Amino acid sequence: MQVRFHKMHGLGNDFVVIDARAAPVEITERRARALADRKTGVGCDQLILLERSDIADARMRIFNADGGEVEACGNATRCVVSLLGGTATIESLGGMLEGTSIGDQVSVDLGEPRFEWDAIPLAYAMDTRAMPVGWEELESPAAVNVGNPHVIFFVPETDAVPLDRLGPLIETDPLFPARINVNVASVDDRGNIRLRVWERGVGLTDACGTGACATAVAAIRAGLVDSPVTVTLPGGPLTIDWAPGRPIRMTGPATHVFTAETDLSRFG
Ligand SMILES: N[C@@H](CCC[C@H](N)C(=O)O)C(=O)O
């Protein structure tokens, strides 16, 4: 079965986007994992499937490179808005999203963050501003759900953290029944944060839009920075705007790399 796909990225966090609004496409966990494989498939951090929606311009389904379907992806949301053009609404497992493209920049509204321990979700009750837990030098994280679950460690220097070793340990810790995205952040000043992310179901990525949102929200909530704040990831900067009781707004680039066709039956 031949399908057309778009290769896109947001600050290096890359996607295979299949537009299945006109003709349904079946994606299984095995097929998503095979498509995402960088050696034998097309290669991407996330596979994005666009379907028809009765309540929005499109329904966005997100599959991590390990094949698991998840609720939210900030960088992919910007890419999908730029693909749909102008101002677009998107239905997702994480909630209703809305965004606008202005040149190569896309601004998206990701809804309100959740802080309750069972909304993260955590295995048991604790204060999500500073949780009394730690993994080696990473201690007292905050947790925020921005459609998907994030834990955030504020550290003096992000590059000094062995995230490739600690990321998988934290992602799969029983404290996080849905697993978790792991963020390590350094606050440079009241307008700037540096961030590295170990993504659930993927590993280290060049950028994570929801990670930037969760980190900015945790830092604003802790009084460490002011909104809007620039969050700089290895792939580049995102601007995050948030105040309590308001939705999170993220602005950054969306890049279309190429459009091609592939035979889906190759991938199981
Ligand atoms: N790259 C994404 C996040 C993708 C989903 C995440 N790995 C999860 O499992 O929740 C982003 O830009 O937000």
pLDDT surpassing 90 at residue 36: yes
184: three-class secondary structure by DSSP? strand
- How do strand 149-154 and strand 181-189 relate by DSSP bridges? parallel
Both structure tokens of 259: 């459009």
The CATH classification of domain 2-110+254-267, taken from the options 1.10.260.40, 1.10.3720.10, 1.10.10.10, 3.10.310.10:
3.10.310.10
Is 209 close to ligand 1, i.e. is its CB under 6 Å away?
yes
Q: What's the pLDDT at 63?
A: 98
Is 202 close to ligand 1, i.e. is its CB under 6 Å away?
yes
Is residue 97 within 8 Å of 88, Cβ to Cβ? no
Rounded mean pLDDT, 13-40: 97
Give the Å distances, CA to CA, from 259 to 17, 42, 218: 9, 12, 37
Rounded mean pLDDT, 61-66: 98
pLDDT tens sequence across 179-198: 999 999 999 999 999 999 99
Residues in the chain: 268
74 is in an annotated binding site: yes
pLDDT surpassing 90 at residue 42: yes
Where along the chain do its domains lie? 2-110+254-267, 117-246
Both structure tokens of 131: 């949780």
208 is catalytic: yes
Regarding predicted confidence, which is higher, 104 or 226?
226
CA atoms within 13 A on the CB side of 147: 28
Query: Would you identify the CATH topology of the domain 117-246?
Result: Diaminopimelate Epimerase; Chain A, domain 1 (3.10.310)
At 18, the pLDDT band (50, 70, 90 cuts) reads very high
Report which ligand 1 atom has the smallest distance to the Cα of 179: 9
Q: Which residues of 201-222 are buried (b: 16+ CB within 10 A; e: fewer)?
A: bbbebbbbbbbbbbbbbbbbbe
At 104, the pLDDT band (50, 70, 90 cuts) reads confident
Q: Where are the alpha helices (DSSP H) in 59-101?
A: 74-84
pLDDT surpassing 90 at residue 25: yes
44 is catalytic: no
pLDDT surpassing 90 at residue 91: yes
At 261, the pLDDT band (50, 70, 90 cuts) reads very high
- Average pLDDT of the residues of the chain: 97
**Quick check: bond before 228 cis, omega within 30?**
yes
Rounded mean pLDDT, 245-257: 98
**Quick check: bond before 121 cis, omega within 30?**
yes
Rounded mean pLDDT, 247-264: 97
Is 208 close to ligand 1, i.e. is its CB under 6 Å away?
yes
ipTM score of complex: 0.99
d(CA 96, CA 156): 35
pLDDT surpassing 90 at residue 157: yes
Which residue, 152, 187, 182, 178, is CA-closest to 166? 182
